[in-house]
Every structure is written in C-alpha cells, then in structure tokens.
C-alpha cells in the first residue's frame, strides 16, 4: 500500500486484496516507521537543544563543551537514516520524472518497479557494508578522535539499521505487485 499524495500513475497496479502475509508485513513496517518518525522528531529537538546549550555556555560562561557536536551528529545520523524507510513508503525521495508524462500508466508502473529493484540492490549493498563497518568498530573498540571519545559503533549501527529498514521497505514495494492478483472489475487507463 502506498501512502501520501501520489499521482494516478503511481497507483498500485493490483487491488489491495493480496497475500495476507505481505499485508501483515506491510502494516508492521508502517507501524515501525511511524514510531521511528516520532523518535526522530524527538532526536531532532534534542540536537537543537544540545547545540543551543553549547552556544549559550560558550558565549555566556566561556566554558567549552566538547561533547555536544558529536552528540548532535549522532542524533542527526540516526534521525536521517532511520526515517529513510518512512520516506520511501511515502515515495518521498527525490526522483527524476521527466518521462512520467510521456509514458503510459502501465509502463510507468513497470518503470517504478524496476527503479525499486535497482534501489534495493544498491541499498542492500550499503546495508551490508554498514553492518560490517559496525562490526569492525565494535570488535576493534573504535572511538572518535574527540575528547569525549564515544564509540563509533553507535552511529554506524544507526546507519546500518536505517539502511536495513529501507531495504525492507523497498523489498515490500517490489513484492506487493508480484503477490496481488490483477483486478477484473476495475478498468485501468
């Protein structure tokens, strides 16, 4: 099921009646994505508070805070990568649509499906590399070069988890048209 204000040519090519397992996975991922969006909003507010605190303490008290930049970056990395699946579910990522108006609705659906397959391949590779980077940082005990020295496994794990969720979202978007039966009662242009 696609969400958000989409043009008619992005309507699913098949009716909603499909595989119950796929529908359950889709609902579970949508719920997970909605929870993550709320947590990401809190993380963005926390990053703003942390950076504002840093500016205030530096200017008012001439006191250096050495942890705030990395804490804000960790929060922003988590918010960015973990919400990517939500944005994909809304079809909100930037795309080049120069040919959309020139192609028929069926060709556009096939084009969108092929883009999803290519995106899945890239994101799956990115997720795999992110998990290997997380593992290396954890095993080697890698920390940042700052005075605070937080473990680098934290932002790497956030990045890997976000890319994994994005892969799950894209995989569902690939799977849904393949598991639904064509509608005979609804005429499509």
pLDDT per position as a tens digit, 83-132:
999 999 988 877 777 777 788 888 888 988 999 999 999 999 999 999 99
| CA 7 to mean position of chain CA atoms | 21
Instruction: Please provide the average confidence, as pLDDT, over all residues in the chain.
Output: 85
123 within some domain: yes
Nearest Cα residue to 67 out of 76, 54, 80: 54
Domain membership flag for residue 110: yes
Number of domains within the chain? 1
The answer as to whether 164 is a domain residue is yes
Angle between helices 20-61 and 68-82 (to 10 degrees): 160
What is the four-CA torsion angle of 99, 170, 163, 72, rounded to 10 degrees?
Answer: 70
187 in a structural domain: no
Indicate whether 138 belongs to any domain: yes
User: Tokens 């997380």 correspond to what residue?
Assistant: 134
Domain span including residue 33: 15-179
Mean pLDDT of 158-177: 94
Domain membership of residue 24 (yes or no) is yes
- The pLDDT assigned to 105 comes to 87
At residue 17, the pLDDT reads: 47
What are the pLDDT digits (tens) for 118-129?
999 999 999 999
């Amino acid at each position: 099921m696609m969400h958000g204000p989409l043009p008619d040519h992005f309507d699913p090519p098949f009716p909603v009646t499909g595989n119950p397992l796929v529908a359950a996975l889709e609902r579970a991922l949508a719920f997970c994505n909605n929870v993550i969006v709320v947590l990401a909003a809190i993380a963005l507010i926390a990053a703003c508070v942390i950076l504002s605190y840093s500016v205030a303490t530096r200017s008012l008290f001439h006191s250096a805070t050495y942890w705030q930049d990395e804490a804000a970056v960790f929060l922003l990395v988590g918010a960015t990568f973990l919400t990517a699946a939500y944005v994909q579910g809304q079809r909100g990522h930037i795309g080049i649509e120069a040919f959309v108006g020139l192609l028929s609705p069926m060709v556009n659906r096939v084009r969108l499906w092929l883009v999803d397959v290519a995106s899945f391949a890239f994101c799956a590779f990115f997720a795999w590399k992110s998990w290997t980077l997380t593992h290396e940082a954890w095993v080697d005990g890698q920390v940042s070069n700052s005075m605070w020295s937080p473990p680098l496994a934290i932002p790497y794990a956030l990045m890997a988890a976000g890319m994994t969720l994005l892969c799950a979202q894209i995989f569902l978007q690939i799977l849904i048209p393949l598991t639904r039966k064509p509608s005979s009662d609804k005429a499509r242009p």
